[in-house]
Structure 1
Amino acid sequence: MRSAVSSGILLVDKPQGITSHDVVARTRRLAGTRRVGHAGTLDPMATGLLILGVNSSTRLLTFLVGQDKEYVATIRLGQTTSTDDAEGDPVVTADPDTVAAVDDGSIASGIQALTGAISQVPSSVSAIKVDGKRAYALVRAGEDVVLKPRPVTISTFELLARREVGGFLDLDVRVECTSGTYIRALARDLGASLGVGGHLTALRRTRIGPFTVADAPALENLDVAASLIGPADAASVLFPTLTLTEQAATDLGHGKRIDATGLGTIPEPGDDGLYAAVDPARRLVGLVRVTDGVAKSAVNFPPDEPEQNTSTEAAAE
């Protein structure tokens, strides 16, 4: 028998070659609970930060998915692929002399054109749903999929290094962007603008909102209980905090509105107008909104109850 851990957020450094669901499945076994979810899928080729929620803290994942993200990546100029990354089949390969002629100024101009608020067409093999089906599933079934462009913001698109590799030109880059941005699409579009084609050969997510991969243990070294960030601590990183009295915490937990004017200075609200409301023992009671000095719960966080019969096999389902 394996006892279930309490609620919290986990930062995990995902290795290459496995899916985000594989990480969730392993964490379920380690944590002894099936209530594990993740915020933001990483492709099997990608490595880096994956944020997991355990037990009631899965409710926080909704507020993590939309956070800005940071990546370091390698873009290969000189070849397009069927998936816009190294996992796809080569489609068009440019003449090596043409690739070698691409100069730093042209690369800088191409990167600048893809920086800021842009309209991006996601990769056709993305997980976006088309008529209820994943785009990648339709592509694998032989259908021609063209997705609609969507607005994204690339706040940073920085060239770190360039090198010639076997007739191609590899660019190491750092990207900071809004949620929903496809780095594969940036590689594809940069290559297209330079007339040589391009695709992604490496991708590592280094940040989601305020959380960084530097604080994330590798999956093979993951100690769930030791690595859990408590719900109150995680929510207080994401939102300004209101510290409740015991009575206010009880009332809020019962769905009542509470007078926030007696809780001290009320800071400016966070995203979606939310505050993290914690009790005197630093338990997260909920996320609240304050209007005219009255706080009302938007999301409740009841105490986690231990699961029964949390065997390794049952938790892995």
Structure 2
Amino acid sequence: MSRRRAADADVPPGVLLVDKPGGLTSHDVVARARRVLSVRRVGHAGTLDPMATGLLVLGVGAATRLLGHLGSSDKVYEATVRLGQTTVTDDREGEVLTTTSAAHLDDDAVRAALAGQTGPLQQVPSAVSAVKVDGRRSYDRVRAGEEVVLEPRPVTVHRIDVHRLTRPTPDLVDVEVTVACTAGTYVRAIARDAGAALGVGGHLTALRRTASGPFTTAQAAPVEEAAAALAAGGGPGVLALPDAATAVFPERRLTAEEATALGYGQRVAATGRAGLTAAVDPGGRLVALVEDAGSTARVAVGFPW
């Protein structure tokens, strides 16, 4: 695969749908995209742990303005929960803290405990997480030897589908699940809390994000391939900025006059819709995300090129 080096002005704004491999941080993936494209303005819409694989949404150029809105979409994960052990990180990468035999657990008890982790929850994030405490990441404080207690956060787990239960040893139970949830949900915490409810402890041994909002791993590509495709004008793992925005928000087609007005930060006639709308000019360019304010619509996020 050849890598095209380009100046920032030569790379169109776009969204990269990346299939992240295990072992890389989200920052590592962003850094790889920057190297391929020779641009600095690259960000991601929601962190994946180094252990996790799957869909990571990146924005390049003006598309970084869209990331905060893309990151708030619901997520879908494939995961494996191990019952019978707790770890310091609530996943397989952390030191084992406790081991309690899960040999007595039957399938019905396991399914019931996981069902108890669905619906609206007040979930305490893992202490080894990216949540900030007084301006510092929680995981940095833990690694520095500090004791961190995080406040519970409201999340909603729409469903947990149990696919398979196995016993890798007589004392452990592995459960393969699909989790559909709101942004900000920690699947590691689901494993921890289900294990605690069963009295044996739990942690996560595998995690793969398969969907974020309307985007899925079926559309994704390795980061180097997606970035090179963007530089070349499109291809696997690439969404043009208007396509990404209209996949998430209703589209409003603008007149040339309306597009010019929004470009200057002026208001246009109301859309008649609740929430954000993707305003697209007659040439197909995303001008802004707009939202109604009474009888007019105002710019919530502008996208100058």
TM-score in terms of structure 2 length: 0.92
What does 1:1-317 correspond to in 2, within 5 Å?
Answer: 2-3=5-6, 4-95=10-101, 99-167=102-170, 168-219=172-223, 221-222=225-226, 223-225=228-230, 226-227=234-235, 228-259=238-269, 266=271, 268-269=273-274, 273-303=275-305
Amino acid across the alignment from 2:246: S
Q: Per-residue CA shift, 1:233-264, capped at 9, x if unaligned?
A: 1111111111111121111101222235xxxx
SS at match of 2:145: coil
- Bigger mean CA deviation after superposition, 214-223 or 231-240: 214-223
Amino acid across the alignment from 2:296: V
Q: Per-residue CA shift, 1:69-128, capped at 9, x if unaligned?
A: 110000111111111110001111113xxx122011111211121110111111111111
**C-alpha separation between the residues in 1 aligned to 2:267 and 2:121?**
42
Amino acid across the alignment from 2:220: A
**C-alpha separation between the residues in 2 aligned to 1:59 and 1:78?**
43
Amino acid across the alignment from 1:73: A
Q: Is the 8 A contact 2:36 2:224 kept in 1?
A: no
Q: Per-residue CA shift, 1:214-237, capped at 9, x if unaligned?
A: 110123543332243111111111
**C-alpha separation between the residues in 1 aligned to 2:262 and 2:246?**
18
**C-alpha separation between the residues in 1 aligned to 2:187 and 2:97?**
19
Question: How many equivalent pairs are there?
Answer: 292
**C-alpha separation between the residues in 2 aligned to 1:292 and 1:267?**
9
Structure 1 residue 164 displacement after superposition: 0.7
TM-score in terms of structure 1 length: 0.89
Q: Is the 8 A contact 1:242 1:278 kept in 2?
A: yes
Q: Is the 8 A contact 2:87 2:94 kept in 1?
A: yes
SS at match of 1:109: helix
- Bigger mean CA deviation after superposition, 211-220 or 168-177: 211-220
**C-alpha separation between the residues in 2 aligned to 1:30 and 1:220?**
7
Q: Identity across aligned pairs (percent)?
A: 54
Structure 1: 5+ residue stretches without partners? 261-265, 304-317
**CA pair 259-143 structure 1, distance change in 2 beyond 3 A:** closer
**CA pair 59-105 structure 1, distance change in 2 beyond 3 A:** same
**CA pair 274-91 structure 1, distance change in 2 beyond 3 A:** same
For the aligned residue pairs, the C-alpha RMSD in angstroms reads 1.5
Q: Per-residue CA shift, 1:111-159, capped at 9, x if unaligned?
A: 1211101111111111111122111111111111111111110001111
Q: Is the 8 A contact 2:252 2:279 kept in 1?
A: yes
**C-alpha separation between the residues in 1 aligned to 2:249 and 2:91?**
36
**C-alpha separation between the residues in 2 aligned to 1:47 and 1:189?**
22
Structure 1 residue 68 displacement after superposition: 0.8
